[in-house]
Amino acid sequence: MKRKQLINIIAVLIAIPFLSGCWTLVAAGAGAYGGYKMKENGYTLQNPITKEKKSTSK
């Protein structure tokens, strides 16, 4: 019984580093999607983030 638990714990500890790359990709994708949706609403990525103003002069 203890041997099976030890093997399960070792398997989980070995698998955790392999999953960390997946979470990085998920976070990057979420950030890109958020930036895309902000651009659709007229925001630009500046410091600070501001909404584009429509110019009335021609």
pLDDT at position 57, please? Answer: 60
Residue 58 has pLDDT above 60, yes or no: no
- pLDDT 10s digits, 4-57: 899 999 998 888 777 777 778 888 899 899 888 888 888 776 666 666 677 666
Place 1 in a pLDDT band, splitting at 50, 70 and 90: confident
CB atoms within 10 A of CB 38: 14
pLDDT at position 15, please? Answer: 82
The pTM of the full predicted model, rounded to 2 decimals, is 0.46
What secondary structure does DSSP assign to 2-55, as a single string? HHHHHHHHHHHHHHHHHHHHHHHHHHHHHHHHHHHHHHHTTEE--SS-EEPPPP
Please state, in angstroms and rounded to a whole number, the distance separating the CA atoms of residues 40 and 1.
57
